[in-house]
Chain A
């Protein structure tokens, strides 16, 4: 997976984003106004806003459930991914036996096992956390593993001479050199994870749940409350974007030593 990364956030980037969103909303309003799309198919922005105001308490309550699922899934998936990558990088047997399984496991669409997770873990948040964790596990593991395997060979030479060992692969070398060196790769993986974790949580909610924004969307869809559905969708988008930028900010601080001049 190609790690992607937005440029440093400045007032300018935020301003540009706001302009784009405003233009988009105006266009949306114009389409509603100029065409005869029925309101039960596409509500106007003002209607969505009104629905949000009317249902804000319900929406926020469901949003908090979804946010909890996303954040816990992100934390658990990241931790499991870090441990897996470390073991695969460090233990030869694990590399030979687990790596192929890990790669092949990616061929199974995570969505396909969502019903199974709901069956096993119930309608509560556990199955959604598992879903979010599962969907981010691979990008985190793959990126961290990639970072661990691409330690500058010069550093490994140095470690080898300093420790008088035949290879630079000791646990001390892992802790002091290879893990820190892999942090930028891990940070890319976690950024990707922050972007896809909401998908996992919401898909989990669609399959079976009693709370969360995904549930609220299905519920309002069934009752043709399209405006509430849109309000929930916008809320989800705001959560996803806020989460991404928070994680991005954290990651930037994590690898602060990787200045722009460092290559």
Chain B
């Protein structure tokens, strides 16, 4: 099923060039304070267009806040801004997915996936919605209500909803941390395939997830927090986490996170 979806999606991604254009994320001197605590300050970074950047860090370091500032959900970052490489606002180009699937419990899968279109009053591309629902493996559950689905299935619906937005930038905030290991693994593969070519930022506290999905990994650390230099990973995600090369990268990553080999 996954292989099938792979070919199909790469076609649809290639056909929509607007999703893969100049959509880097540029942070200019970004700062944010929460409850009087300076979470990060003077962040000037760039997340490359068309690539997946994984931001790895311990809980509470400010990863989610950074993502929310980029998404424009925290209207008052103390200073600085996030824009693309041409200095244009990112508004209207972002799709967002959180750890909580945020499905509307009264709406069936189809209506959840098409929520964005309905909110904007756009015409609903029925075929496209059904195709995406099929891609995430829920063709038989188009009419199902969320509470009848498992956690993994619900997150698949959220994934289809995120894709339905047809935005060139995707911000994923620990999208799979509430799922069991196997489901997480499946969904990671799906994300790697379905978002290929778009600018994706994934916030996670799971080094293995970062290694599977990222073209590059940034570690967020300290207070106010900084981002490490990008750790570039070769090859195309999704990577096999058991490959020897990935395992050695994981060792390096844990070193960067400040965990010595003795602790591992």
- Interchain CB contact under 8 A, A180 and B72: no
Q: How many residues of B contact A (CB 8 A)?
A: 26
Q: Does A216 contact B (CB under 8 A)?
A: no
B96 interface residue (CB < 8 Å to A)? yes
Q: A158 CA to B100 CA in the complex, in Å?
A: 11
Main DSSP-derived SS at the B contact region: loop
Q: Mark A115-156, 1 if CB is under 8 A from B, else 0.
A: 000000000000000000000000000000000000010110
Q: Which residue of A lies closest to B121 (CB)?
A: A172
A-B contact pairs, 23 of them (CB 8 A): A154-B100, A154-B102, A157-B102, A161-B71, A162-B115, A162-B119, A162-B120, A163-B116, A163-B119, A163-B120, A164-B91, A166-B75, A170-B119, A172-B121, A176-B119, A180-B104, A180-B106, A180-B107, A181-B104, A255-B106, A257-B105, A257-B106, A259-B147
What's the Cα separation between A172 and B121 when bound, in Å? Answer: 8
In the bound assembly, the distance between CA atoms of A157 and B147 in angstroms comes to 21
Chain A residue numbers with a CB within 8 Å of B106 are 180-181, 183, 255, 257-258
Task: Point out the residue from B96, B119, B145, B165 that lies within 8 Å of A157, measured CB to CB.
Answer: B96
How many Å lie between the Cα of A176 and that of B118 in the bound state? 8
Q: Which of A159, A161, A255 has the most CB of B within 10 A?
A: A161
A262 within 8 A of B: yes
Tell whether B200 is near chain A: CB-to-CB under 8 Å.
no
**Within the assembled complex, what's the spacing in Å between the Cα atoms of A159 and B116?**
7
Interface of A, secondary structure class, is helix
Cβ < 8 Å to A, chain B residues 80-105 = 91-92, 94-96, 98, 100, 102, 104-105
Residues of chain B contacted by A180 (CB below 8 angstroms): 104, 106-107
User: Could you say which residues of chain B place their CB within 8 Å of the CB of A163?
Assistant: 116, 119-120
Nearest chain B CB to A127 CB, angstrom units: 38
Complex CA gap A257/B106 in Å reads 5
- Is A209's beta carbon under 8 Å from chain B? no
Residues of A within 8 A of B (CB): 152, 154-155, 157-164, 166, 170, 172-173, 176-177, 180-181, 183, 255, 257-259, 261-262
